[in-house]
Amino acid sequence: MKLNFILVYLICTNILSVAQSITPSVINSGGKSSTVTINSQTVIYTDNIGEAIINTASNSSNVLTQGFLQPDMVVIANTSISLIPTDVSCADKADGYIKVIIDNLPSGANVKYFWNPDTLCPSHDCSRINNLSAGDFTVKVVYSYTLGNVVKTDTITRNVPIKDENGTCKIKVYSGVDLSGINSTFTIDNIEDFPEASVKIFNRWGNLMFNTKNYNNKDNFWPKKDANIVPGTYFYIIEIGNGSKPIKGWVEVLN
């Protein structure tokens, strides 16, 4: 079989590029060299036996052909990613997160997320990372898709910081307790960051109703369901345990 070699020199102007609509035809079934003149330019081609040609592009004056079949032109939209970070509420907290949003992802694409450090998501399937402390993070989004008969893989890498803009965590006390509602406990934000802190609760007559260390809002809190608390006004004293002044105030208990 002959080694097929085509040398084409063609000058075309204002060629309109279009998606191919392939209608193959066979030229020179015996195989030979042929010459054609377009706009005073000579095109010499040598074909193999039974080789097909297709019309690739044309204008009113010229026709450009290829001696082999190619797949239709496929247009892929520009894929991009956006990172939505939420900063930590205060310096000692690990409550920041990062969410990845992908725009114009090719249809049927398979996506993997490579976070740095990798321990954030070893399975590489996390579009959102939670429980982050302040710091700098990197995500590499790798997506694979099929273009024609070819599998392509593209990568987008982005860096994003989780910031601490509020400084040291501070105690925040909520002054309402609804025994029959969702706010059924005495909530103290950031109290778990002060393990030496003590919390005391007094009734209006000054009687000590509750006293504990290591107060938290999950399992060591006031009031317990079996405490038989009477609705009314109570008073608290919170001693942080770091030499700062005690935090004092009142809390209203509703039924």
Average pLDDT, the chain: 80
- 160, 137 contact by CB (below 8 A): yes
Residue 97 banded pLDDT, cuts 50, 70, 90: very high
The residue count of the chain comes to: 255
Q: Across residues 195-211, what is the average pLDDT?
A: 93
Between CA 193 and CA 195 the distance in angstroms is 6
In angstroms, the CA 187 to CA 215 distance is 10
Query: Which of 52, 46, 41, 53 lies closest to 9, judged by CA?
Result: 41
> How far apart are the C-alpha atoms of 214 and 227, rounded to whole Å?
19
pLDDT of residue 27 exceeding 50, the answer is no
Cite the residue boundaries of each domain of the chain with CATH code 2.60.40.3580.
172-254
Handedness of CA 19, 25, 28, 30 (dihedral sign): positive
- Among 49-53, 101-105, 188-192, the range scoring the smallest mean pLDDT is 49-53
Which among 181, 130, 139 has a CA at the least distance from the CA of 160? 139
Instruction: Give the SS3 label for residue 192.
Output: helix
Q: Which residues pair with 115 in a beta bridge?
A: 139
Q: Residues 116-151: pLDDT tens digits?
A: 999 999 999 999 999 999 999 999 999 999 988 889
CATH for the 80-162 domain, from 1.10.3470, 2.70.50, 2.60.40, 1.10.10: 2.60.40
Is the pTM for the entire model greater than 0.75? no
CATH value of 172-254 in 1.20.1440.230, 3.40.50.720, 2.60.40.3580, 3.40.50.300:
2.60.40.3580
Residue among 76, 84, 80 nearest 157 (CA): 80
Could you tell me which residue, 253 or 19, shows the higher pLDDT?
253
The pLDDT, as a whole number, for residue 68 is: 52
pLDDT confidence of residue 221: 92
Instruction: Name the residue with higher pLDDT: 207 or 7.
Output: 207
**Residue 17 predicted with pLDDT over 50:** no
Please tell me which residue, 170 or 12, carries the higher pLDDT value. Answer: 170
DSSP 82-126: EEEEE--SSTT---EEEEEEEESPPTT-EEEEEEESGGG-TTS--
- Give φ, ψ of 118 to 5 degrees: -65, -25
**Could you give the CA distance from residue 18 to residue 244 in angstroms, rounded to a whole number?**
76
Residue 16: the pLDDT is 34
